[in-house]
Amino acid sequence: MDRPHVLVIPYPAQGHVKPLMELSHRLVEYGFKVTFLNTEFNHKRVMAAMSSRGDDKGGKICMAAIPDGFGLEEDRNQHGKLIESMWNNMPGYLEEFIGKMMSDSNESKIKCVITDWTMAWALKVAAKMGIPRAAFWSSSAAILASVLHLPKLIEDKIVNDNGVPYINNQMIKLSPSMPSMSTNQLVWMCMGKTNMQQEVFDLFIRINGTVELIDYFICNSFYELEPSVFELFPNVQPIGPLLASSPGNFWKEDSTCLSWLDQQTSRSVIYVAFGSFTIFNKQQFEELALGLELSGQPFLWVVRPDLTSGEAAVYPEGFIERVASRGRMVSWAPQKNVLAHPSIACFLSHCGWNSTTEGLSVGVPFLCWPYFADQFLNESYICDVWKVGLKLVSDENGVISRDEIKTKVDMLLGDNEIKTNTLKMKEQTMRSVSDDGTSTKNLEEFIQKIKS
């Protein structure tokens, strides 16, 4: 008998592709055939990184691609323009892609299109073609709640029609049972140096208009982590965290850092990684390097090829020689395995949602250095709600100084309360994805529904 076939469509960013790849692998384990549809640009990157691991087929997943409407050489960091191009061009390409599949007698019928909700144009295409639809939310449910509540935030005059709060830093509650959040933490207000506030707000207004098209709504969080949000939106099913170790990387992994970690003392290494978007200026990059040196601890630092704006990373003079015996820099790490390594003492992180849940799942304490979007709210969760980390605070010039880094590393490593909390969170996180955990049950229920 034909395996049930699903088509999975991620938003073209690393933090969105990886969890959906992980979900796709799970679906394959549950007997599905999965076609994973990247943009052509990312498809090339993912396939290149996979073949460097000796896996050029995406495991049992069918890897496919359609254009995003941009030329291959065009700068995809112009996110607003890219979003516009995707919404204008990709529906046509998707319809053609599905049409070809449907007319191929060797291809099984698509049971469901599972799309990242930020690519909600795909819901419209699937609806037009009579295919059931699931929306996937890759970040926290709290952020999802703020997007679902957008019309109400405008109606209640919390934000204006452009999403700008009437009162700066006003504390609001989306429901009586939810923790308060500041209007400054609304995700579109946290776009920092990316200048994307309006584009992101407009995107959320757009996707908000597609709620009616969603048959199943799934979210990369778990019930016990954000119970009040899931109580408020019972139709949203938490199936996470989808802890991604499977392929889907945009950069080639440097696994040699794992044997380097083997040689380090237990619970001694600071793991430093800022996900896929964060950009540092020269001064801040230098200060971070000197802070790691000053800490006196061994460290493993992910320095992506594009971590520093417009130029190759320049380390402070003599830095590489001085830290040679205890510092390791790599361009991309096997993060899930790194975090689980017994040598890791703490995680200096930008607080991307995947990094946050990956850290929770292994019980490492965090030093938080958010950059944009949901990362500020994730930082509040980490430091103020779950109490498993400390915030790095910038000085009057907006720089996080080397002394601040050293002080907070010392404080974090000596904090027993945080240590206890990380163990509690680890247990809770892993319980949710255990055989009879809440997320596993929700995933199985979702699977039964799409199979039938």
Q: How far is the CB of 303 from ligand UDX (least distance, A)?
A: 9
Total interface residues for ligand UDX by CB under 6 A:
26
Provide long-range contacts, Cβ within 8 A and 24+ apart, for 385-393.
385/179, 386/360, 386/421, 386/425, 387/417, 387/418, 387/421, 388/359, 388/360, 388/418, 388/421, 388/422, 388/425, 389/365, 389/418, 390/365, 390/366, 390/415, 390/418, 392/348, 392/367, 392/368
Measured from the CB atom, the residue of 201 and 353 that comes closer to ligand UDX is 353
Query: Is residue 343 part of the contact set for ligand UDX (CB under 6 A)?
Result: no
Q: How far is CA 444 from CA 1, 4, 18, 171, 239, in A?
A: 21, 15, 20, 37, 9
Residue nearest to ligand UDX (CB): 15
Q: Which one of residues 42, 197, 354, 439 is an interface residue with ligand UDX (CB under 6 A)? A: 354
Of 14-22, 91-99, 196-204, 264-272: span binding ligand UDX (CB under 6 A): 14-22
Query: Is residue 45 part of the contact set for ligand UDX (CB under 6 A)?
Result: no
Query: Is residue 18 part of the contact set for ligand UDX (CB under 6 A)?
Result: yes
Q: Which one of residues 216, 222, 277, 446 is an interface residue with ligand UDX (CB under 6 A)? A: 277
Q: How far is the CB of 244 from ligand UDX (least distance, A)?
A: 5
Q: Which one of residues 144, 158, 373, 405 is an interface residue with ligand UDX (CB under 6 A)? A: 373
Q: How far is the CB of 306 from ligand UDX (least distance, A)?
A: 12
Query: Is residue 375 part of the contact set for ligand UDX (CB under 6 A)?
Result: yes
Query: Is residue 222 part of the contact set for ligand UDX (CB under 6 A)?
Result: no
Q: How far is CA 425 from CA 114, 123, 142, 449, in A?
A: 29, 35, 18, 30
Beta strands in 177-278 (DSSP E): 181-182, 216-219, 236-238, 269-273
Measured from the CB atom, the residue of 197 and 335 that comes closer to ligand UDX is 335
Query: Is residue 118 part of the contact set for ligand UDX (CB under 6 A)?
Result: no
DSSP letter string, 365-422? -EEE---STTHHHHHHIIIIIS--EEE----TTS---HHHHHHHHHHHHT-HHHHHHH
The footprint of ligand UDX (CB under 6 A) covers 13-16, 18, 138-139, 244, 249, 273, 275-277, 302, 332-333, 335-336, 352-355, 358, 373-375
